[in-house]
Structure 1
């Protein structure tokens, strides 16, 4: 029996094959499952088309598993399987994104969909199908890992920079507004907060990246072993000491020193091989991966300024009083919900919960400063 036949045999074994005359509730549920499996197979097939190598092969295998699941529900539905059920709007949207773009965001959404599978509790699904869905979640999690890692650095800077701007500036203008200041003063304070915060973020990022580069440069081995090896006394052990200081064993250090003196042509004993950091081109790549201090500072300035601009938009366009406060809070809530939702999506958590958490944090900070502004206004009065 080949693997496909075995999979079909496993899928055919059900914990509960359903009644000969399914109820209308069962039919609706099975058709919903069928629609989901149809959509998931299309999504994985589309992602496979936009992938290469091992990833493409894995995605095609997962799509085939979803097709096996489809057949299970078609068998239970019988004549009720036609006309073919239409996937939900969200599923069709995901299909479109997978087909035309393909990204870690699609994989993250697919991972969440696999994690919400009801097959483990549904008696009409097989044990094999429930196990498949659990494994599929881990497969998609693994495939999306590299994409998440690529996004993590820049994305983290963008999200946290924008969130800092949103929260700090909305808190500032809420406090100023509650103190009884005019709309012009609120706008001026917001602009000052935007510039001060963005410049502070840029300066901090500049110093951080510059310091990290300097630390790496100070720790990176130089080319001295290549430049002066021929002038050293072979009977002394200075060259060996350098290699031992870099982490080589005594035997490996002696072996590499003999190479430098020309007594050995290569690492004849593989067990003594050691990559000399001074000769490792990855050092340059790691240094370059940090980016430039100027570039990091400019990015931080822009991210913070973008977030800090949102709370003052109503005042820029002439809003004042309670209307300005409400519009500012609404815009900030939308922005916080979006950034929190995207972070949740990429981390495999609930976008709604992460979005609501971001909103609660931001509005909580604004509420505190608003209360302080009211207290200050009362005290002055």
Structure 2
């Protein structure tokens, strides 16, 4: 600990800011916990308690120099405001980025344990955010792709038509036709895609009759080992896993085993304490998470249709409002640019990456595609003329 004689005004200011930030972060976790129940709530409260320990470290260093409480930095205050009002996966993604920005690794006044805590906190919040991402990823993916495709494709269509010198009404009706056709195509495509993926997953799950056959297998022949080998396990590991599963069936009769529900049968056959049971996850438990991540076919289709139509409507707005020529082109490109920045930043926030970088990437891709179509429209317009 730095003695009173060695401390400088700059150190005291830095420690007081650290203290304010730790208090603000603890408040964020408590606010998030208040909107959850069960295990997630317990984890968030544990994170708040860890921040309280860090807070105590800075209080001990400051001693009589603690002074009036400061406010946390702007990012943490915004995060707290969002946590109190929303508590969504976006807030957890922001909290994940906040933990990743910790400067304790480079600060000699912070203990190595505190720096390690912040790194682990990032992974804890990442795990909590992943739960939310999985719950919304199927529909969210369709929504983001739909909005982005609607923005880019219809902007390219409108600018390309406008560059040829076509009349305002022709450009307008072309944009509306592109909106409707694209939204229907995206919705139908998403439905078929997600439905097909769910059917493939369902076909890959173990059949219900296989569990009923377990009590009647020849223990010496150990046919069950072939199942595990077909799933990718080494022959020795597959034989050991099969022997453990079949051996555990000795305490159940065939009728008793068959009477159990599927999940209970798996739990009875695979002893959770054994090493063999830990070799591969329980397929029955994995399947709901797979389906949760993909989403539903209808949900993806509706999200894709609605968000494509919304995105495709943006470049048409200037023509609906009566603008024409270069003014309409400029307004369409500007409005779509703002929307692309918003969708890119949203994806960045949800993924825990830099919102600014994702937003600029989205803008560059969208404007690049529209610019290429606009130049082609100019070329075709000149040829026709």
Same fold (TM over 0.5): yes
Shift in CA distance, 127/199, structure 1 to aligned 2, threshold 3 Å: same
Q: Does 1:366 align with 2:370?
A: yes
1:207 corresponds in structure 2 to: 192
Please give the per-residue CA displacement for 1:63-119, whole angstroms capped at 9, x wherever unaligned.
Answer: 122122223333444444321101244422321222333121111111101101111
Q: Does 1:193 align with 2:197?
A: no
Shift in CA distance, 204/270, structure 1 to aligned 2, threshold 3 Å: closer
1:5 corresponds in structure 2 to: none
Within 5 Å, give how 1:343-362 maps onto structure 2: 343-362=347-366
2:85 corresponds in structure 1 to: 100
2:96 corresponds in structure 1 to: 111
Asked if the contact 2:82/2:91 (under 8 Å) is kept, the reply is yes
Higher radius of gyration, 1 or 2: 1
User: 1:21 & 1:216 partners in 2: Cα distance?
Assistant: 62
User: 1:170 & 1:349 partners in 2: Cα distance?
Assistant: 27
User: 1:153 & 1:292 partners in 2: Cα distance?
Assistant: 7
**1:33 CA displacement:** 1.9
Asked if the contact 1:220/1:283 (under 8 Å) is kept, the reply is no
Asked if the contact 2:150/2:311 (under 8 Å) is kept, the reply is yes
Within 5 Å, give how 1:119-198 maps onto structure 2: 119-198=104-183
2:256 corresponds in structure 1 to: 266
User: 1:222 & 1:117 partners in 2: Cα distance?
Assistant: 49
**1:291 CA displacement:** 6.7
**1:310 CA displacement:** 1.1
How large is the RMSD of aligned CA atoms in angstroms? 4.1
Please give the per-residue CA displacement for 1:336-363, whole angstroms capped at 9, x wherever unaligned.
Answer: 1111111111111111111111111111
Structure 2 unmatched ranges of 5 or more: 230-237, 259-264, 271-282
| 1:316 equivalent among 315, 320, 337 | 320
User: 1:170 & 1:130 partners in 2: Cα distance?
Assistant: 48
Shift in CA distance, 285/31, structure 1 to aligned 2, threshold 3 Å: closer
User: Which of structures 1 and 2 has the larger relative contact order (alpha carbons within 8 angstroms, sep 6+)?
Assistant: 2
SS across alignment from 2:169: helix
**1:197 CA displacement:** 1.1
Range with bigger deviation, 180-189 or 161-170: 180-189
The TM-score, its normalising length taken from structure 1, stands at: 0.77
Number of residue pairs aligned between Structure 1 and Structure 2: 350
Please give the per-residue CA displacement for 1:162-189, whole angstroms capped at 9, x wherever unaligned.
Answer: 1111111111111112222222222112
Q: Does 1:20 align with 2:6?
A: yes
Q: Does 1:86 align with 2:86?
A: no
Shift in CA distance, 345/272, structure 1 to aligned 2, threshold 3 Å: closer
| 1:336 equivalent among 328, 340, 363 | 340
Asked if the contact 1:18/1:124 (under 8 Å) is kept, the reply is no
